[in-house]
Each structure stands twice: as structure tokens, then as C-alpha cells.
Amino acid sequence: MAREGNYISAKLRSEVALRASYCCEYCLIDELKTGLFCEVDHIIGIKHNSPTDSSNLACACFNCNRNKGSDLASIDWDTSEIVRFYNPRSDIWSEHFRFDSFYIAATTQIGKVTAIIFRFNDRKRLLERNPNSFL
């Protein structure tokens, strides 16, 4: 059964996509490169009783959205700490990641766990960002 208030109207979907310039707010890929439209992601999942409003929604590519699921955080096994994921509404992408050619390098612990769980640098994701590559 759907929770009350989790419906995302066409207008709100359009606002989220336009705000993100039709790019994934996690890996920054343009939806035109993926062959699929970006989806609207609840940054904090509705199963956690989060609001369905602009402040909790992000434009996400299929891969980022599926890999993230309703997770909020992961474990940094180097430190055994639970670390939250990157939040495009409150964090600045360039403070947690940088591009090294088509590879997304994490520069913080938040970036590290996000990149691992979202699988930013899997071979198919690298090919998606650089289709002319022969990795």
C-alpha cells in the first residue's frame, strides 16, 4: 500500500529534472548519454517517512537510483564507521568527488562510500561516460 503523499506529479518531476539540467545529480551523467530518462529519487527514501517535496528529491540515472535504493549510508571498512551518502540538496559535488578523465574519484569519506555503493566506476559505467573507450 502506498504511503500518503508520496505521489510525484508531472510538474514536480519536470521541476526536479530541469533543476538538474537533465543530468544525474549523483554521477553527473547527462540522461541523453544513458539511453534512458533520468528518474526522480527520494534522497531519503519514503520507507523512512521522508517528504515527497523538492527538498528531498534528486534527478538520478537508472544505475545510481537502482544501486542506491532506499539506503542512506554505508560502512567505510577502512575505519569501520557508518558514513552517510552524498546528498545533492545539501552537499557540493566538487567537495566530495572529482573527475579523473571518465573515472569519478572520491575525495572524502562521504564520496568514497557513495562511489562504492552507487558503483560509479564499474566498467559499464565508465563506458557509458566514454562510449569511445576500449576499456
Q: What share of the chain is helix, strand, coil (3-state, %, to 5)?
A: 35, 20, 45
Report how far apart, in Å, the C-alpha atoms of 61 and of each of 3, 88, 131 are.
Answer: 24, 13, 16
| The three grid cell numbers given for residue 33, joined into one nine-digit string | 548519454
pLDDT number for residue 7 = 84
65-87: pLDDT as tens digits: 999 999 999 999 999 999 999 99
As a whole number of angstroms, the distance between CA 32 and CA 28 comes to 12
- Mean pLDDT confidence for 22-29: 97
- Sign of the Cα torsion 103, 109, 111, 114 reads positive
pTM score, whole prediction:
0.91
Confidence of residue 119 (pLDDT cuts 50, 70, 90): very high
The domain ranges of the chain are 10-129
Asked whether the beta carbons of 23 and 30 are under 8 A apart, the reply is yes
| φ, ψ at 97 (rounded to 5°) | -145, 160
Confidence of residue 1 (pLDDT cuts 50, 70, 90): very low
